[in-house]
Amino acid sequence: MKIEKIKIDSEYIKLQDLLKLGGAVETGGQAKVVIQNGDVTVNGEVCTMRGKKMQKGDIAVFDSLEIIVE
């Protein structure tokens, strides 16, 4: 599994934006589809909310990519 760490300066980043920033998807449209299909887990649980607020310490996994918010 590949691990990508994303540093944020704000309180949170939306899940769909995190997937784009981490390189898991190319567009917001792709992010919407994979999230709504239940293909993304957040902290070990399936998440279907693309606007989910991801905070420091949260982990999103899609395909074979783990994205950690720092």
Q: Render pLDDT for 26-42 as a digit per residue (tens, 0 to 9).
A: 999 999 999 999 999 99
Percent with pLDDT over 90 in the chain: 99
pLDDT at position 40: 98
- SS3 track for 21-49: HCCCCCCHHHHHHHHHCCCEEECCEECCC
Confidence of residue 54 (pLDDT cuts 50, 70, 90): very high
pTM: 0.95
